[in-house]
Amino acid sequence: MMEVRRHNAGFCQPCFLKHCRDQVSRAIHDFDMLGPDDRVLVAVSGGKDSLALWDILLDLGYQADGLYLGLGIGAGRDGYSHTSGTFARDYAARRGATLIEVDIPTEFGFDIPTGAREAKRAPCSACGLSKRHLFNRAAVDGGYDVVATGHNLDDEAAVLFGNVLRWETAYLGRQAPVLPAAPGFARKIKPLVRLGEREMAAYCVLSGIDYIVEECPMAVGNKHLGYKDALNQIEVQSPGAKAAFYFLFLDRVSPMFSGIADEEREGLQPCAGCGSPTTGEWCAFCKLVAKVGGSGVGA
């Protein structure tokens, strides 16, 4: 029996898997994320969230391919990136699904820890901008309509908490489960926003999906993890608080900031290196590649 306190409900195995699929269907419907003919590119890390998302989208009948990005984190065959790639490949092979791979060290000549150090950025900042850029580029180049990521309710509530603490209005304007397509940008969707971290781990265990349990070593000391802990403590006292915090924000507060996000997408021009839309002459990813002295700018 799997208990979900937020819903004050307990589920047997088949009902729990159905509950997860239903929550994803509801998110897709409520936020108008996907049409039946959309081609979806799922950002797959080898972790529980992205593999569960890919599984559920396939079960729901969507045309969903995976994209695995090699970040070069951790040395050797036991390193984080090597291991996470193995889980992504194994899942794709077992399910007969298509997995596209982009390996940053091979294609651009640097790994994320080195890139971050040489560009004097926090590792997660260098990693995040690389992921956003390369997922979008793969989607646009591959003719996909949508990039789907495995951000769950815990992730989104923690990001919201951090943005509210510092009243980051531009980020608040952008924090939606759907970012519409624009010239040079595929639509971005987060179909797991109605499901928590614990539910995603249970989904994988109950449906026999093997995933990398180890956290990325670069996440240690990350502020985001502290926000998750704080919200978990609140959730213990008041089940449902996390979902209320996030969904009432979307309903009542985020419309006030959406104009800021729209303004940010206006006045973009093609990056001199890769052609992706950007505010300056070079996009953040090409600047990172240039600082690290890597290869592939303009490729």
Task: For residue 64, give both structure tokens.
Answer: 């969903």
Phi, psi at residue 65, to the nearest 5°? -100, 160
Rule CB under 6 A: say whether 123 interacts with ligand Q46.
yes
Whole-angstrom Cα distance, residue 290 to residue 292? 5
CB of 225 to ligand Q46, least distance (A): 9
Buried/exposed code over 66-103 (b: 16+ C-beta within 10 A; e: otherwise)? bbbbbbbbbeeeeebbbbbbebbbbbbeebebebbbbe
Q: Which does 271 bind (CB under 5 to 8 A by kind): Zn ion, ligand Q46, none?
A: Zn ion
Phi, psi at residue 183, to the nearest 5°? -55, 125
Rule CB under 6 A: say whether 216 interacts with ligand Q46.
yes
Rule CB under 6 A: say whether 127 interacts with ligand Q46.
yes
Whole-angstrom Cα distance, residue 181 to residue 190? 14
Given 231, 273, 289, 294, the residue binding Zn ion (CB under 5 A)? 273
Closest by CA position to 115, among listed 129, 136, 101, 102: 129
**Contact between residue 164 and residue 172 where contact means Cβ atoms under 8 Å apart:** yes
Instruction: Point out which span in 120-128, 163-171, 259-267, 274-282 binds ligand Q46 (CB under 6 A).
Output: 120-128
User: How far from each other are the two terminal CA atoms of the chain, in whole angstroms?
Assistant: 51
Rule CB under 5 A: say whether 289 interacts with Zn ion.
no
CB of 256 to Zn ion, least distance (A): 32
CB of 149 to ligand Q46, least distance (A): 10
CB of 232 to ligand Q46, least distance (A): 18
Given 34, 129, 158, 271, the residue binding Zn ion (CB under 5 A)? 271
**Contact between residue 46 and residue 211 where contact means Cβ atoms under 8 Å apart:** yes
Query: Which residue, 127 or 289, is less far from ligand Q46 as judged by CB?
Result: 127
Give the helix/strand (H/E) hosting 24.
helix 13-30
Instruction: Point out which span in 35-43, 51-59, 172-180, 216-224 binds ligand Q46 (CB under 6 A).
Output: 216-224
Task: For residue 90, give both structure tokens.
Answer: 């194994």
Given 88, 172, 286, 289, the residue binding Zn ion (CB under 5 A)? 286
Rule CB under 5 A: say whether 283 interacts with Zn ion.
yes
Instruction: Point out which span in 91-99, 156-164, 177-185, 214-222 binds ligand Q46 (CB under 6 A).
Output: 214-222
Rule CB under 6 A: say whether 128 interacts with ligand Q46.
yes
Given 274, 288, 289, 292, the residue binding Zn ion (CB under 5 A)? 274
Rule CB under 6 A: say whether 218 interacts with ligand Q46.
yes
At 77 the three-state DSSP class reads coil
Task: For residue 101, give both structure tokens.
Answer: 């791979």
**Strand 187-189 relative to strand 178-179, pairing:** antiparallel
Whole-angstrom Cα distance, residue 140 to residue 134? 10
Given 165, 170, 219, 225, the residue binding ligand Q46 (CB under 6 A)? 219
Interaction site with ligand Q46 (CB under 6 A): 112, 123-124, 127-128, 216, 218-219
